[in-house]
Amino acid sequence: MEFGPHLMLASLEGAVIASILALTAMGLSIVFGVMRVVNVAHGEFFMLGAVIAWWVASHVGGHAAFGFLAALIIAPLFVGAMAAGVDRLILKRIEYDPDRTIVGTIGVLYIIQQTTLMTFGPDARPVEAPFNTRLALPWFEWGENGFAMFWPWGLSTTSYKLFVIVAAAVILLALWMLITRTKLGLIMRATQQDSETAQAFGVPVGRVYSWVFGLGAGLAAIGAVLVVPIQQAHYLMGHDPLLLSFIVVIIGGLGSLPGTVIAAFLIGMSDGIISVFFSPTLAKIFATLLVAMVLVFRPQGLMGRRAP
Amino acid sequence: MTASRKSMGLHLGVLVVLAALFFILPPYHTGNMARIMVLAIYAMGYNFLFGYTGLLSLGHALFFAAGMYGFGMTVTQLGLPVPVAFAFGILAAAVVSLVIGLLALRTSGVAFMIVTLMFAQAGYLTILYFGEYTRGDEGFVIKQAQRTVAGIDLTSEAGRYGAAFILFAICFLLLARLVQSPFGRTLIAIRENEERTRMLGYDATRLKLQAIVVSGAVSGMGGATYALLFGYVGATFATVQYSIFPLLWVLLGGAGTTVGPLIGVLFMFYLIDISSSYTDAYMLIAGVVLVLLTMFAPQGLAGELRKRVMPWLP
Amino acid sequence: MSNGKTNKSTINRRSALIGMGASVGAMAASGSFGFASAQSVAPIKIGFQKHATGIGAAYGRWYDTTTQAATKRINDMGGINGRPVELVIEDDGTDPKRGAEVVEKFATQHNCDVAFGTLFSHVVFGSAPRAGELKLPYFVVSEGHHVASGKLNRYTLQPGITDVKSQVQSMAPFVGDTLGKKVTMIYPDFAFGHDHRDFFSDAIEAQGGEVVAKIAIPPTETTFTRYFPSIPRETEVVYHVMVGPAVLTFVKELGEFFGPSRPEIFGFIDSLEAVDINSPGLEFLEGTYFWEGNPRHAQADQTSHDKAFRAAVGVDDRGASLADSKDVSTYAHMFGCWETLNIIKRGMEAADYQGPADRSRLIEAVEAMTDMPASDDHPQGPKRFNGKTHQTFGQQYISQVKDGKLVCVHTASIEDGLYEDEVDYTTQSF
């Protein structure tokens, strides 16, 4: 494939990855920002979202869209409620101590993974996309006959992939409104900035934490429901989203929501675009080092403020 | 009895017990103990940085792998004698940790975690990329004939246990001494309050760099020892999972205690081994135990001991 | 199982014992041989290293099913040397470190007579040194080239499944003659993929073809489209092989990339093992070709052996579980467990195996094996075992997808897959 179309295809693919990543990482970012804990089980909440989506879709008859829509509502609610339960049952009792939270959430990770393996099984299971038309894309070039349009071999995307990008943007926008325009958002921000003062002003910090933890997990689940018609539900699929969202949150700057989105796009796109120039594994190595170097030279992250 | 005497007694006691276990335990468990001691070397290396210096790295698998490949590749492909190759493995890990340290120490806290994680990930991919030499994920075997030192066959049960014990004992005693030396105490001071330590005139960054190199070299020695005693080198050991293991072992055993890493490895190993003989769902049990442990023994096992009965525990 | 196993396995064992009891009764009644007449009725213990968790779990489950079925059949026929066979199952977590620990456990804790199982080659590499040191015969069903390459030891054998070098080499004539000469290879960027790359490149060049591009995909990858533009336009055949949970995404995206104008596509069924060929998004596979270790869909000329094998394991004519037609087996690989257990049985009988002291005699007995005709013991087809390299060679199948069914269009002979010996394990001491 010629350079131009190749770059365009890689960018489109990168945008899809970045959209999902932005949603998943946003979940982690909110938890990290407000509660200051590392949730190692975040990837498992993602995986649960995908598995539940499969379960819902396979129990809802009719057109594939019904199952998908049902999953889009049920999966995040269920996963969010479960995460809130984890918060009440475990995190609250270990007082959100950073080290203990790591051990505790590793424990939760094992529990969720093993339970899924025993019930859902080890196979990767597909969910049918509500719609999935292959869209061939044109490319323009100045040739001998002036400006010409042609259809390069292989340059295409699918309607569903474009939908994922749009859906992620809409959800992120809604989240932004929630946090900046509503009272709930105000309470969250107050808790994030100074939980003790917030408590003194009557904010039920404990309950806010549960909500936030549930919201974070729910966002991961939404990301998973969106991705599962492209990839498949599998009990080990939470591994990469965890690492990537973790990286995104830190690169973006701790607690900065715009930073998280920017970082998600930086990482998603760079992965795609660098792969145009190098062999796949080498591209991955360079992309990884590039992102690490961002942090080495800007330790507070892209949008983060210098630590006091 | 003074604290340092008690501590000396404790360390020697641990070693005496470990030595005696070889003669008491049935073969299956001596095999396990050899393995546990090797992994404990890795955990002790990690603990030096995490438990004593307060730096949480998620990239130690890279140091473990550097030692492993540094030893394994020179012994199989260059045919170096075992002791030379072994030293080369440790050196490789020290150099890698120095480079990573120089870069990663520009950051702190969670950024340090992520930077180390990403360098380790790049390292893992590099091992795969050079699959022609490293044999990638599949790895390679070090033949029995190449695992003999001074006429002692390290593939025999006694040879393996002996080698694991000696190398463990060296690291155990050296690190126990090191954390009580002025260098170690300054590191603890950095962990407790870096600003204040700086104001007292210490070059904290330089000290932390030294701590990373010590930690990386010991972790690399763990990797080289694993390759030497169990005859296998593979990229699995460079994955994130193997960076999280030492963190888990150390947190379980008790961060910032000298016996914690050994206890953590021992606990985790037998937790998996025993529960897997009762149920396929052993990870579920492991998960529940981890949750309970962190709820009821927040300082790790040795940490709780120190808090409750042995305040002198180093 | 011994030393307490899962509840599930305990039930399995109990039912196996009931089955055994019934068959012993039947034999005693008919006055023929049986466990009762044997000197020692202590079971022969076979340690089964299972990918119960980790990346290989989908394979592990079917390896387990097949192994249980083969064990039951052996016990129903009177066991080995008059002794019942007992499986000891341990999870290796698809991890080389745990794999080695499990092998130790078989040897020193469970006192198994032999160890058996496992697919992923890194687990084989991690475990084999320990098996050799503990002098525990280790029968692998991995299709890796590790055994025949001479990298392992005299105690490690692969008698039940053809290795990747042989598989790949025997595919080249068909690909070169029928599909095209200019091949682009897409494979995972780890040792298994590199074996495909190296062995196939050589083999296709011998056919007068060439590999025009080699696209190695990093193993952690979950989406693939962005790598496909590297497929050169002149490509006549795309050769793909993928493993792991992302295989379905890979094949789907390959179809979406090409759209209506695809070149010929030849894949190793590994890319779709345990996946229904009629999954949504796979419609474009119609007309493409697959290597199959054992045809997943029952063919028109199905042998009675294949029929019996399917019935015993519990899969239907489309290679899916009888209980759930969506639950597709790893049919192209799992026959290896069945055949390997039968070879262990014959080896033990030939060596008059009594206990661990006879382990080296067992190895020698297996090394002495050569041709094995197709039979109920060998439902995949005839085999030729090379005692020097510890590797077996069998027929390979190429199927084309026609109306959503894998129809075998070419059978590569054993001779197509033979290559020069790279090792002679029989010269190594025990």
Out of C126, C133, C151, closest to residue B155 by CB = C133
Q: Is A17 on the interface with C (CB under 8 A)?
A: yes
Whole-number Å distance between alpha carbons of C407 and A14: 38
In a domain, B288, yes or no: no
Whole-number Å distance between alpha carbons of A239 and A224: 13
Side chain identity, residue A52: I
Helix axes C96-104, B27-47, angle to 10 degrees: 150
| Sign of the CA dihedral running B77, B82, B88, B89 | positive
Out of A104, A106, A281, closest to residue B125 by CB = A281
pLDDT of residue A49: 95
pLDDT of residue B144: 80
Give the count of alpha carbons within 13 A of B249, CB side only: 32
Residues in chain C with CB shorter than 8 Å from the CB of A117 are 53, 57
In a domain, B286, yes or no: no
Top pLDDT among B85 and B149 is at B85
| Sign of the CA dihedral running B292, B298, B299, B305 | negative
C-alpha angle C301/C304/C307, rounded to 5°? 90
Whole-number Å distance between alpha carbons of B86 and C20: 53
To which CATH superfamily is domain C7-163+330-394+421-427 assigned? Response regulator (3.40.50.2300)
- Give the E-state strand segments of chain A in sequence order: 134-136, 139-143, 146-150, 156-158
Out of B107, B289, B291, closest to residue A299 by CB = B107
Q: Is B126 on the interface with C (CB under 8 A)?
A: no
Query: B26-62 burial by CB neighbour count: b if 16+ within 10 A, else e?
Result: eebbbbbbbbbbbbbbbbbbbbbbbbbbbbbbbbbbb
Query: C148-162 burial by CB neighbour count: b if 16+ within 10 A, else e?
Result: bebbbbbbbbbbbbb
**B44 pLDDT exceeds 90?**
yes
Top pLDDT among A35 and C7 is at A35
- Residue C105 Cα distances to B277, C52, C117, angstroms: 11, 16, 14
From its phi and psi, is residue C402 left (phi > 0), alpha (psi between -120 and 50) or beta? beta
C165-301+395-417 fold:
Rossmann fold (3.40.50)
- Residue B99 makes CB contacts below 8 A (sequence gap 6+) with none
Q: Is A284 on the interface with C (CB under 8 A)?
A: yes
Burial of C225 (0-12, 13-18, 19+ CB in 10 A): buried
pTM here is 0.86
C-alpha angle C38/C41/C42, rounded to 5°? 150
pLDDT of residue B86: 93
In a domain, B302, yes or no: no
Query: A173-185 burial by CB neighbour count: b if 16+ within 10 A, else e?
Result: eebeeebeeeeee
SS3 string, C325-338, reads CCCECCHHHHHHHH
Tell me how close the Cα of B169 comes to any Cα of chain C, in angstroms: 23
Q: Is C110 on the interface with A (CB under 8 A)?
A: no
> How many structural domains comprise chain B?
1
- Residue C264 makes CB contacts below 8 A (sequence gap 6+) with C179, C180, C236, C237, C238, C288, C289
* Total beta-carbon pairs less than 8 A apart between chain B and chain C: 105
pLDDT of residue C333: 92
Which residue in chain C has the smallest CA separation from A122? C58
Whole-number Å distance between alpha carbons of A181 and A159: 32
Residues in chain C with CB shorter than 8 Å from the CB of A275 are 226-227
Residues in chain A with CB shorter than 8 Å from the CB of C256 are 134, 156, 158
- Residue C19 makes CB contacts below 8 A (sequence gap 6+) with C72, C75, C76
Out of A117, A134, A276, closest to residue C57 by CB = A117
In a domain, B43, yes or no: yes
Tell me how close the Cα of A15 comes to any Cα of chain C, in angstroms: 11
Which tokens go with A54?
């499969």
| Sign of the CA dihedral running B299, B300, B304, B310 | negative
Q: Is C265 on the interface with A (CB under 8 A)?
A: no
Out of A16, A154, A230, closest to residue C249 by CB = A230
pLDDT of residue C36: 46
pLDDT of residue C29: 41
Whole-number Å distance between alpha carbons of B39 and B24: 21
Pair B30, B161: CB distance under 8 Å: yes
Which pairing describes strands C210-217 and C114-117: parallel, antiparallel, or unpaired?
Answer: unpaired
Burial of C278 (0-12, 13-18, 19+ CB in 10 A): middle
Q: Is A1 on the interface with C (CB under 8 A)?
A: yes
Domain locations along chain C: 7-163+330-394+421-427, 165-301+395-417
Q: What is residue B140's DSSP assignment?
A: E
- Residue A277 Cα distances to A152, A263, A286, C226, angstroms: 19, 21, 11, 11
B contact test, residue of C1, C124, C133, C147 with most B CBs within 10 A? C133
Domain locations along chain A: 3-297
Residues in chain B with CB shorter than 8 Å from the CB of C192 are 137-138
Whole-number Å distance between alpha carbons of C291 and C331: 12
Q: What is residue C109's DSSP assignment?
A: I
For chain A, first and last CA: distance in Å? 50
Whole-number Å distance between alpha carbons of A269 and C371: 55
Whole-number Å distance between alpha carbons of C54 and C48: 16
Q: What ipTM was reported for this prediction?
A: 0.85
**A225 pLDDT exceeds 50?**
yes
In a domain, B159, yes or no: yes
User: pLDDT of A170-206, one tens digit each?
Assistant: 999 999 999 888 888 888 888 888 888 888 888 888 8
Which tokens go with C187?
């494979």
Which tokens go with A84?
């809130």
- Interface contact flag, A123 C327, Cβ < 8 Å: yes
User: pLDDT of B54-76, one tens digit each?
Assistant: 888 989 999 999 999 999 999 99
Q: Is C217 on the interface with A (CB under 8 A)?
A: yes
- Interface contact flag, A106 B244, Cβ < 8 Å: yes
Tell me how close the Cα of C136 comes to any Cα of chain A, in angstroms: 30
Q: Please state, rounded to an integer, the average pLDDT across all residues of chain A.
A: 86
B contact test, residue of A31, A32, A42, A110 with most B CBs within 10 A? A110
Out of B128, B155, B273, closest to residue C190 by CB = B128
What mean pLDDT comes out for the span A48-69? 88
Helix axes B204-230, C121-133, angle to 10 degrees: 60
CATH no. of A3-297: 1.10.3470
- Give the E-state strand segments of C13-97 in sequence order: 44-50, 85-91
A contact test, residue of B110, B127, B304 with most A CBs within 10 A? B110
Which chains does chain B touch, 3 or more C-beta pairs < 8 A? A, C
Tell me how close the Cα of A134 comes to any Cα of chain B, in angstroms: 33
pLDDT in tens, chain C (430 residues): 344 333 333 334 334 444 444 444 444 444 444 454 444 588 999 999 999 888 888 889 999 999 999 999 999 999 898 899 999 999 998 999 999 999 999 998 899 999 998 889 899 999 999 999 899 999 999 988 999 998 999 999 999 999 999 999 999 899 888 999 999 999 988 888 888 999 999 999 988 899 999 988 887 788 888 888 888 888 899 999 887 777 788 888 888 888 777 888 898 888 888 888 888 778 888 888 999 999 999 998 999 999 999 999 999 999 898 988 888 899 999 999 999 999 999 999 999 999 898 999 999 999 999 999 999 999 999 999 999 999 999 999 999 999 989 999 999 999 999 999 999 999 988 8
Residues in chain B with CB shorter than 8 Å from the CB of C7 are 279
Pair C339, C377: CB distance under 8 Å: yes
Pair A257, A26: CB distance under 8 Å: yes
Q: What percentage of chain B reaches a pLDDT higher than 90? A: 44
In a domain, B262, yes or no: no
**B3 pLDDT exceeds 80?**
no
Phi, psi values for residue A92, rounded to 5°:
-60, -40
* Total beta-carbon pairs less than 8 A apart between chain A and chain C: 96
pLDDT of residue C38: 44
For B167, the domain range is: 25-239
- Residue B178 Cα distances to A270, B172, B197, B258, angstroms: 44, 10, 18, 10
Whole-number Å distance between alpha carbons of A17 and A271: 9
C-contacting residues in A 221-280 (Cβ below 8 Å): 230-232, 234-237, 240, 272, 275-276, 279-280
Whole-number Å distance between alpha carbons of A293 and A289: 6
Helix axes A280-297, B109-129, angle to 10 degrees: 160
pLDDT range class, residue B1, cuts 50, 70, 90 = low
Rg (CA), chain A: 21
Residues in chain C with CB shorter than 8 Å from the CB of A268 are none
Pair A251, B114: CB distance under 8 Å: yes
